[in-house]
Amino acid sequence: MYLEEVEFINWRNLEKVELSFPEKTLVLAGDNAQGKTNFLEALFLLARGTSPRRAKDEEMIRWGEEFSYLRAQIREENLHFTREVVIKKEGKKEWKRDGKRETRRTSLPLVGYFPQDREIVEGPPQKRRDFLDEVISFIYPSYNQWLREYEKLLSRRNFLLRERSSGEFVEIYGENLINCGTKVVETRIRYLHRFVPCFQSFYQELSGEDVSLQVFYRPLGYRWEEGVEEGLRRAKKRVREEEKERGVTLFGPHRDEIVLLLRDREARNFASQGEKKRLAISLRLAETSMVESFYRKEVVILVDDVFSELDKKRRALLWQKIKNGSQVFLTTTEEEEVKELRGSSPLSFFRIEGGRIEKGE
Amino acid sequence: MAESYPEALSRLISAFSRLPGIGPKTAQRLAFYLVKSPSLEVEELLSSLQEVKEKIHFCSVCGFYTEEDRCKICENPQRDRSVVCVVERPQDVLAIEKTGFRGLYHVLQGIISPLSGIGPEKIKIKELLERVSQGEIKEVILAISPSVDGEATALYLAQKLSSFPVLVTLIARGLPSGGDLEFADEVTLQEALEGRRRISLKPRKEE
């Protein structure tokens, strides 16, 4: 995929942006809080349909305005099309493709590297589940519908438990929760198997040392090797009394953990700050290569201020990995850090200040 | 203070707006229309409302609309009494009728729905089990919409029916006929794949 030109109106602090991208690498330099991340967020939303920060629609609209509008002219292989979205304070986003209303969209191959990705490594288990769920949904759309169905079943079962409904009634939803949960867990494990080798080798390269890095899917209350459906059933039986007492579902994929073990210790608690950064970047690199191989298409890459977290050697390494993306958007506070990469491929430079973007040299 | 409509008119408007699918604007439009209508038309409406309330109730066996104790479907001796099709609402009966189905029905009068406080005891499940226990029924077809709550209802029924010697089947999920494969969503397609069946070829005529 290649973004040929974009137009943003009333998007966060960007009042009006109109840019075309003849060069495949774009660097956006500027101080903090000038709108660099907002710019990338708009590109992400256009391609993937959601905000990488999970922002609400009304937060995306420029202060005091009623709506926000984004448009991109996109090229995919030999196909050109426009994608537009109108975000309103109330009601759903309105999407258009080539000027026609679009109700069902596919995600376009674009991956973003953000500073807050470190939370995937060091945050609570939900961050890692969400990361994996997003990666899988991106390349396997049915998975997303299963997740939504699972959430519906879960909210009903929790409601019944909270209301102290009859055991039989809770049981009906428990059974369907297991059926749907089995699909979710089995899919997670299947994709994790393909994801982990990628992740490991990127980490080795980026860290420059041969350390042991392992990833485990750790379901709550059973071992998946014994069979997921059976396991969920056993886990459910085990927590039965406690669920009645606490009035909430205590087993299932919404409580499972994905453990990153670095040197046989949980990275979440024991990895250093530098290691956490590199782990987070490696997760995104592995995501990128999954997307590449599943879509058999080139991926657009967004890198939000991630370079400044790395030393010179690792910056060069990361650059080697991502510069082959069909298009790369980098933001930075330190122009010099990025300029040193210039040798290898042409970059177009832009500066952003107070939401206004101007061409740099 | 601004004047409002005379009491009788306001009462009619608020009565209309209690009906499903009717908002305040439509309720007003209907009321104004009736005020202007000839008395004959209003009387006709009045008497049909009365008649519906007096005569129509649910069949004591299957729960479909009837003017008698039992509905015409249950009374019809031509119907196959070994097959019962379970549906959510009486209007679903007519939808299935159009397919040429000629067995009997059972209307649940709702589906299990925890978020609206509808448990298994609030719909006609006990009645279904009673019918099945009489032994004449050999197959129960569950024709319930494939929503999260619909599936829960189907599963619950299947569990309850498992203690009887009946075949319990669920209507298929998948592609609509005349549908285009390209425009189907992934989950529907996947269900269609899971529910695939063997094409049975008729033996060729001997020449």
- The secondary structure of A206-230 as a DSSP string is HHTS---EEEEEE-TTS-GGG-HHH
Q: How far apart are the C-alpha atoms of B26 and B19, rounded to whole Å? A: 10
Residues of A in contact with B159 (CB under 8 A): 172
The pLDDT tens digits for A78-126 are: 899 999 999 998 889 999 999 999 888 888 999 999 999 999 999 999 9
With a threshold of 0.85, tell me whether the complex ipTM lies above it.
Answer: no
Residues of B in contact with A165 (CB under 8 A): 114, 119
- Name the token pair of A145: 């519908």
Residues of B in contact with A172 (CB under 8 A): 112, 120, 152-153, 155-156, 159
Those residues whose C-beta lies under 8 Å from the C-beta of residue A181, and which sit 6 or more positions away, are A150, A228, A232, A252, A253
Residue B169 is predicted with a pLDDT of: 95
Nearest-Cα residue of chain B relative to residue A150: B148
The pLDDT tens digits for A240-284 are: 999 999 999 999 999 999 999 999 999 999 999 999 999 999 999
- Looking at chain A, the number of H-run helices and the number of E-run strands are 11, 15
Q: Can you tell me which residue has the tokens 């999970």?
A: A54
- Name the token pair of A150: 């699972």
Which residues of chain B fall below pLDDT 70?
1, 203-207
Residues carrying CATH 3.40.50.300, chain A: 1-109+302-361
In this prediction, residues A55-73 reach a mean pLDDT of 92
Residue B75 is predicted with a pLDDT of: 94
What is the distance, to the nearest Å, from the Cα of residue B178 to the centroid of all Cα atoms in its chain?
A: 24
Query: Do the Cβ atoms of B187 and A142 come within 8 Å?
Result: yes
- Name the token pair of A254: 């919404």
In this complex, the residue of A142, A152, A169 whose CB is nearest that of residue B148 is A152
Residues carrying CATH 1.20.1050.90, chain A: 112-296
Best CA proximity match to B108, nearest among B68, B145, B148, B56? B145
DSSP A261: E
The pLDDT tens digits for A286-320 are: 999 999 988 877 899 999 998 887 888 898 889 88
- The secondary structure of A127-145 as a DSSP string is HHHHHHHHHHHHH-HHHHH
How many Cβ atoms are within 10 Å of A255's Cβ, its own excluded?
Answer: 16
In this complex, the residue of B148, B187, B190 whose CB is nearest that of residue A153 is B148
Query: Do the Cβ atoms of B114 and A156 come within 8 Å?
Result: yes
For the domain covering A112-296, report its CATH number.
1.20.1050.90
Q: How far apart are the C-alpha atoms of A246 and A170, rounded to whole Å? A: 14
In this complex, the residue of B120, B152, B185 whose CB is nearest that of residue A176 is B152
B149 touches chain A (CB under 8 A): yes
Residue B190 is predicted with a pLDDT of: 84
Q: Return residues 64-103 of B near A (CB < 8 Å).
A: none
Residue B205 is predicted with a pLDDT of: 59
β-bridge partners, A350: A28, A359
Nearest-Cα residue of chain A relative to residue B188: A142
Query: Do the Cβ atoms of B114 and A169 come within 8 Å?
Result: yes
A159 touches chain B (CB under 8 A): yes
Domain A1-109+302-361 fold:
Rossmann fold (3.40.50)
Q: Return residues 176-215 of A near B (CB < 8 Å).
A: 176
The pLDDT tens digits for A216-242 are: 999 998 988 889 999 999 999 999 999
Apex CA B151: angle with CA B149 and CA B153, to 5°? 70
Q: How confident is the model at residue A172 (pLDDT cuts 50, 70, 90)?
A: confident
- In the predicted model, what is the mean pLDDT of chain A? 91
B182 touches chain A (CB under 8 A): no
B8 touches chain A (CB under 8 A): no
In this complex, the residue of A104, A145, A160 whose CB is nearest that of residue B114 is A160
Query: Do the Cβ atoms of A172 and B152 come within 8 Å?
Result: yes
Q: How far apart are the C-alpha atoms of A194 and A158, rounded to whole Å? A: 33
Q: Is the pLDDT of residue A174 over 70?
A: yes
In this complex, the residue of A146, A156, A168 whose CB is nearest that of residue B115 is A156
**Backbone φ, ψ for residue B24 (5° rounding):** -60, -40
Nearest-Cα residue of chain B relative to residue A144: B187
Residue B173 is predicted with a pLDDT of: 86
The pLDDT tens digits for A122-167 are: 999 999 999 999 999 988 888 998 999 999 999 999 999 998 887 8
Residue B206 is predicted with a pLDDT of: 54
Query: Do the Cβ atoms of B156 and A159 come within 8 Å?
Result: no
- Name the token pair of A348: 């177009």
Q: What is the CA radius of gyration of chain A?
A: 22
Nearest-Cα residue of chain A relative to residue B189: A142
Residue A63 class from Cβ within 10 Å (0-12 exposed, 13-18 middle, 19+ buried)?
Answer: exposed
- Name the token pair of A251: 């087993």
The pLDDT tens digits for A11-42 are: 999 999 999 998 889 999 999 889 999 999 99
Q: How far apart are the C-alpha atoms of A172 and A166, rounded to whole Å? A: 11
Those residues whose C-beta lies under 8 Å from the C-beta of residue A319, and which sit 6 or more positions away, are A341, A344
B112 touches chain A (CB under 8 A): yes
**Beta strands B57-58; A356-359: pairing state:** unpaired
Query: Do the Cβ atoms of A173 and B152 come within 8 Å?
Result: yes
Q: What is the dihedral of CA B136, B149, B191, A257, to 10 degrees?
A: -130
Estimate the crossing angle of helix A167-207 against helix A228-238, to 10 degrees.
Answer: 120
Q: How far apart are the C-alpha atoms of B77 and B71, rounded to whole Å? A: 12
| Chain A contact probe: residue of B121, B151, B157, B173 with most A CBs at under 10 A | B151
